[in-house]
A and B are shown apart, each in its own frame.
Chain A
Amino acid sequence: NAGVMQNPRHLVRRRGQEARLRCSPMKGHSHVYWYRQLPEEGLKFMVYLQKENIIDESGMPKERFSAEFPKEGPSILRIQQVVRGDSAAYFCASSPLSDRVGTEAFFGQGTRLTVV
C-alpha cells in the first residue's frame, strides 16, 4: 500500500504563473488535508477535503488559492498568479474514515514551490 504521493516534489514558477500541486491519498483514505510550511516553522492548516466536498477551507487565502478532491483522481491545490511569498513547502495528508484524532494522518513528502 503506497503512502501519500505528492507531485511534483519540486516546482519552480515565475511570478504570475499558475502552480498545480497534486496529492494522491493512501488507498482507502477519503479525508485529505493540505498544509503549508515555511522554513523553521510548523505546518499551517490550509484546507480539509473529502471526496467532492470542501469541509473546511478556513486556512486558505481568500484569493488565488483553490483546492479540489474529485471523485476520481488526486486532490489538487491550485495557486494562481503566484507571488514570491507563495514560496514554501506544501504538504498533503490523508486519513481513512474520520478526521478525529485516533485515526492517524499520514503525510506525503511535500512539494517545494519556489517562485522566481
Chain B
Amino acid sequence: LAKTTQPISMDSYEGQEVNITCSHNNIATNDYITWYQQFPSQGPRFIIQGYKTKVTNEVASLFIPADRKSSTLSLPRVSLSDTAVYYCLVGDSNYQLIWGAGTKLIIKP
C-alpha cells in the first residue's frame, strides 16, 4: 500500500493561493490520488481526486506530474474558513487508503 509524505503544517494569508505538495513515490498503477479536508470535531470531507495531469473543480485544482510520484493540491484565494487539516491519500479502494497526519493549514487575516 502506498504511503504519502506531506508537510506537517503550513501558514498563509487570506486571498493567497496555497499549494500543498504530497509525495507518493510508491504509487501503484491502479492508484488514484485523493485529497480530504477535515475541520476540528468534524468528519473528513472529500475535496478532489485525480489519476494524472490536472483536475479542477469548484473548490480546488490537483496537479499530477507524468511520473505520478507527487501531487499538488492548489487552493485559490484562501479565506480564514479554509483553516483545516488536509490529507493526501493514494489507493484504489476507499477502505485501503492509509491516512497520515495530514497538513495543518492555518490561514491568517
Contact = CB atoms under 8 A, between A and B. Distances in A.
Q: Is the interface of A mostly helix, strand, loop or mixed?
A: strand
Interface residues of B, number: 23
A97 B93 CA distance: 12
B44 A43 contact: yes
A40 interface: yes
Contacts of B29: none
Contacts of B100: 42
A48 interface: yes
A110 interface: yes
B81 interface: no
A42 B3 CA distance: 13
A17 interface: no
Nearest to A92: B43
Interface stretch (A68-76, A80-88, A98-106): A98-106
A79 interface: no
A108 interface: yes
A100 B101 contact: no
B101 A110 contact: no
Interface string B65-109: 000000000000000000000010001111111111110000000
A48 to B, nearest CB: 4
A101 B94 contact: yes
Given A42-B101, A43-B99, A101-B34, A107 B94 contact: no
Interface of A: 4, 31, 33, 35, 40-45, 48, 55-56, 91, 93, 95, 99-110, 112
13 contacts: A40-B101, A42-B100, A43-B44, A45-B95, A93-B43, A93-B94, A99-B93, A100-B93, A101-B92, A105-B46, A109-B42, A109-B43, A110-B43
What 4 pairs across the A-B complex have the smallest Cβ distances? A107-B43, A42-B99, A48-B95, A101-B32
